[in-house]
């Protein structure tokens, strides 16, 4: 019997009596498949909670009903608002992440809840852009921040602006909620794991007909001559109230001129206009800080810092999984979120604060067809939300958790309870008990629970090199010798594309705090903005 089988059998012998059958069946699975089937025997099957029984389900349902009956909406004015955006965090991502999260801790996972799934109010958000069924982040985040739907690819302008046409966008700018909040005296800020000039964070402060105009180096001479400004420069021209108190994420290269080196890597910046925006930040704001590594964030005197610019990577910040393997310089999302809240609480003691927190690399991992990293990013996102919950009160702080759009991640295959969410499918027999062999598709090969509609498709870890296999007519990759739970495994895809794409279905809205009950149905995405304004008493 393979050693991996022995390990898996040993791992479940400590379970309760109801899982003795699982142990026996796993033994049979290992014996039946033998050493040639490492793709199945390497999987860890996770036990369901020991307390599950008919009585348990009855009690669970009754307790949830009592909580719902006792729930009273909070209708006082919200002093603070925190908007959490999981970029690309569709419902399939949330479901897979809740299972992944629990399985990383040794349990089956289907019964698990991520921190924000305990919020009392849930609705759905329709994500389409005015010109696209399946949306992009620029138009969707503009909807949430400005209260109107608009085109894909544009930020902070209405639907009458043509993408990448500066002249057409002049006069179409729409104010963001963060600009209004600052003008009304609230402390303001945002945190992201992308470049801070990326579409989602940019929609809090910028106005442009082209999301890719992150630096002046990305713009045409015609666009500059017509009066459009790059997104990084617009961060420094935010002149509402006390300005932006917190801006943290990646994207340092867009803030430093090509004639200078940035402090993080010593490489030259990107800007062509000669401006060093990090110095301008320090000149613009009294009692301000510019930081670029984790230690500097940890050492920051939050009680005496009014404005902080944190740029922790030249481009996007590292994936959570990769950062964990690194001795490194980048803080994680929970640390950035906690620091932002503490600083904003200090600066907004009287009038409150607005904060936007984005987990942007959920989206990027999905685009790469790499479910492992997407789910790990979602776990980190949930941890950041838990930090915010611990630091605030639902009596005065409205917390909203949502996504800008979904992705084409799918969950299927009739896997048995506790089957690894990243694994190949092992189903149940005709009596509802786990099979002693993996499920086999009509092409005589195993398949995974998770997959993508489109993208580059299959890739496996090969000594640090990723080997892609585009989907081909007449067959798939044989997964018998592949560890599909490896962080560098990329799921199979149906339609061959250079990058996996967004999906167009609705995404969830989770809310707690003042006026959270206003999320109650299927809403247009820009409705989120109107709820935030109402909660603030505007």
Q: Which residues contact 434 (CB under 8 A, 6 or more apart)?
A: 21, 22, 25, 26, 29, 45, 416, 426, 427, 428
pLDDT of res. 460: 82
Average pLDDT over residues 418-431: 96
pLDDT tens track for 351-390: 999 999 999 999 999 999 999 999 999 999 999 999 999 9
pLDDT at 217 over 90: yes
Give start and end residues of each alpha helix (H) in 13-48. 20-33, 38-41
Least confident piece of the model among 18-22, 92-96, 116-120, 393-397:
18-22
- Tell me which residue of 16, 42, 17, 36 sits closest to 26, measured CA to CA: 42
pLDDT at 271 over 50: yes
pLDDT of res. 50: 93
pLDDT of res. 40: 44
The model's pTM: 0.92
Quickly tell me which residue has 């999987």 as its tokens.
43
Strand bridging mode 397-402 / 507-512? antiparallel
pLDDT tens track for 279-289: 999 999 999 99
- % of the chain beyond a pLDDT of 90: 85
pLDDT at 29 over 50: no
Q: What is the C-alpha to C-alpha distance for residues 168 and 170, in angstroms, rounded to an integer?
A: 6
Give yes or no for a contact between 371 and 491, defined as CB atoms under 8 angstroms apart. yes
pLDDT tens track for 123-147: 999 999 999 999 999 999 999 999 9
Q: What is the C-alpha to C-alpha distance for residues 364 and 377, in angstroms, rounded to an integer?
A: 10
pLDDT tens track for 499-520: 999 999 999 999 999 999 999 9
Q: How many residues are listed for the chain in this entry?
A: 538
Please report the domains of the chain, with CATH numbers, ordered by start residue. Answer: 1-36 (no CATH), 80-410+501-535 (3.40.720.10)
pLDDT at 1 over 70: no
Least confident piece of the model among 31-45, 333-347, 496-510:
31-45
pLDDT at 156 over 50: yes
Give yes or no for a contact between 328 and 162, defined as CB atoms under 8 angstroms apart. no
CB atoms within 10 A of CB 72: 7
pLDDT of res. 107: 95
pLDDT tens track for 297-336: 999 999 999 999 999 999 999 999 998 655 668 999 999 9
Q: Which two tokens stand for residue 366?
A: 């999905």
pLDDT of res. 344: 98
pLDDT at 21 over 80: no
Q: Quickly list DSSP for 179-238.
A: HHHHHTT-EEEEEEEEETTSHHHHTTT--BS-TT-SSGGGS-HHHHHTT---HHHHHHT-
pLDDT of res. 488: 93
pLDDT band at residue 451 under the 50/70/90 scheme? very high
Average pLDDT over residues 72-82: 98
Query: CA separation (Å) from 348 to 6, 397, 517?
Result: 58, 12, 25
pLDDT of res. 410: 98
pLDDT band at residue 38 under the 50/70/90 scheme? very low
Least confident piece of the model among 25-34, 77-86, 454-463:
25-34
Give yes or no for a contact between 213 and 169, defined as CB atoms under 8 angstroms apart. no
Q: Which residues contact 215 (CB under 8 A, 6 or more apart)?
A: 197, 230, 231, 232, 253, 254, 270, 271
Query: CA separation (Å) from 362 to 29, 316, 355, 374, 454?
Result: 34, 12, 20, 4, 17
pLDDT at 459 over 60: yes
pLDDT at 254 over 60: yes
pLDDT band at residue 8 under the 50/70/90 scheme? very low
- Which residues are part of the catalytic machinery? 137
Arithmetic mean of pLDDT over the chain: 90
pLDDT of res. 466: 54
Average pLDDT over residues 148-160: 98
Q: Quickly list DSSP for 294-361.
A: HHHHHH--GGG-SEEEEE-SSSSPPPHHHHHTS--SPPPHHHHHHHHHHHHHHHTTTT-EEEEEEETH
pLDDT band at residue 25 under the 50/70/90 scheme? very low
Q: Which two tokens stand for residue 150?
A: 């608009």
pLDDT band at residue 465 under the 50/70/90 scheme? low
Q: What is the C-alpha to C-alpha distance for residues 299 and 194, in angstroms, rounded to an integer?
A: 23
């Amino acid at each position: 019997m393979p050693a991996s089988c022995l390990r898996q059998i040993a791992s479940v012998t400590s379970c309760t009596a109801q899982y003795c059958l699982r142990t026996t069946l796993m033994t049979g699975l290992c014996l039946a498949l033998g050493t040639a089937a490492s793709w199945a025997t390497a999987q860890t099957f996770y036990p369901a909670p020991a307390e599950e029984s008919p009585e348990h389900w009855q009690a669970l349902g009754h307790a949830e009903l009592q909580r719902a009956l006792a729930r009273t909406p909070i209708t006082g004015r919200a002093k603070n608002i925190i908007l959490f955006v999981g970029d690309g965090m569709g419902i399939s991502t949330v479901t897979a992440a809740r299972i992944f999260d629990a399985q990383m801790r040794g349990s089956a996972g289907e019964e698990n809840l991520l921190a924000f799934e305990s919020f009392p109010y849930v609705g759905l958000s329709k994500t389409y852009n005015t010109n696209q069924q399946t949306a992009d982040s620029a138009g969707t985040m503009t909807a949430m921040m400005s209260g109107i739907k608009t085109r894909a690819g544009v930020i902070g302008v209405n639907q009458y602006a043509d993408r990448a046409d500066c002249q057409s966008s002049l006069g179409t700018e729409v104010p963001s909620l963060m600009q209004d909040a600052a003008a009304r005296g609230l402390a303001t800020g945002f945190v992201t794991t992308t470049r801070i000039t990326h579409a989602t964070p940019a929609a809090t402060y910028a106005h442009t007909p082209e999301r890719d105009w992150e630096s002046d180096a990305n713009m045409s001479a015609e666009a500059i001559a017509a009066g459009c400004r790059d997104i990084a420069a617009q961060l420094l021209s935010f002149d509402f109230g006390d300005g932006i108190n917190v801006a943290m994420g990646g994207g340092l290269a867009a803030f430093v001129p090509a004639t200078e080196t940035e402090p993080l890597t010593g490489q030259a910046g990107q800007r062509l206009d000669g401006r060093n925006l990090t110095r301008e930040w320090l000149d613009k704001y009294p009692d301000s800080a510019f930081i670029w590594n984790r230690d500097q964030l940890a050492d920051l005197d939050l009680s005496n810092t009014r404005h902080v610019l944190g740029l922790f990577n030249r481009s996007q910040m590292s994936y959570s999984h990769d950062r964990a393997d690194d001795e490194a310089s980048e803080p994680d999302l929970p640390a950035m979120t906690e620091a932002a809240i503490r600083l904003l609480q200090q600066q907004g003691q009287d009038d409150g604060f607005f904060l936007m927190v984005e987990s942007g690399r959920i989206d990027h991992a999905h685009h790469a067809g790499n479910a492992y990293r997407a789910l790990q990013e979602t776990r980190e996102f949930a941890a950041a939300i838990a930090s915010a919950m611990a630091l605030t009160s639902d009596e005065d702080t409205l917390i909203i958790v949502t996504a800008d759009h979904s992705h084409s991640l799918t969950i299927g295959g009739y896997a048995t309870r506790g089957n690894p969410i990243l694994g190949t499918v092992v189903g149940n027999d005709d009596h509802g008990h786990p099979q002693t062999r993996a499920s086999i598709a009509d092409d005589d090969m195993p398949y995974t629970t998770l997959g993508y509609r489109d993208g580059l498709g299959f890739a496996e870890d090969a000594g640090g090199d990723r080997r892609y296999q585009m989907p081909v007519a007449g067959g798939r990759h044989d997964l018998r010798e592949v560890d599909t739970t490896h962080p560098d495994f990329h799921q199979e895809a149906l339609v061959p594309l250079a990058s996996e794409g967004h999906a167009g279905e609705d995404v969830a809205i989770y809310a707690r705090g003042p006026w959270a009950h206003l999320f109650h149905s299927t809403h247009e995405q820009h409705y989120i903005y109107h709820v935030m304004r109402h909660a603030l008493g505007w």
